[in-house]
Amino acid sequence: MNKHQRAKIKATILTQIESLTEETQSPESAAQTKLRLERLGTALKRIAADNYGECFKCGNPIQMSQLLTFPETMLCIGCLNNPRTQT
């Protein structure tokens, strides 16, 4: 992942974090929001550590379109679709 792509993903993550923290939430959705914020924070740390965009299971690159849609994802499409890797 090049510098421009990392910057684009980082901006997407920061926008999503801002949006989540500004939303008025019911108690039921607060736990889900907290978990998503934690995952987005982890994604920012992975960008800083320069290992963002690599599948946590197989090490292959995660598609940019997937990262832009779900920047907190840690698995590539192949591992997400493989029931053996979802344990």
In this model, does residue 9 exceed pLDDT 60? yes
**CB burial class (10 A; 0-12, 13-18, 19+) of residue 70?**
middle
Q: What is the pLDDT of residues 24-83, one digit of tens each?
A: 667 767 888 888 999 999 999 999 999 899 999 999 999 999 999 999 999 999 999 987
- pLDDT (0 to 100) of residue 71: 94
The residue among 2, 17, 4 whose CA lies nearest residue 71 is 17
pLDDT of residue 24: 61
Question: What range does the domain containing 46 cover?
Answer: 3-85
Q: What is the pLDDT of residue 8?
A: 93
- Residue entry with tokens 């292959």: 60
CATH number (domain holding residue 61): 1.20.120.910
pLDDT at res. 27: 72
- Give the residue-averaged pLDDT of 9-27: 83
Overall domain count for the chain: 1
Q: Which residues pair with 37 in a beta bridge?
A: none
The per-residue pLDDT for 64 is 93
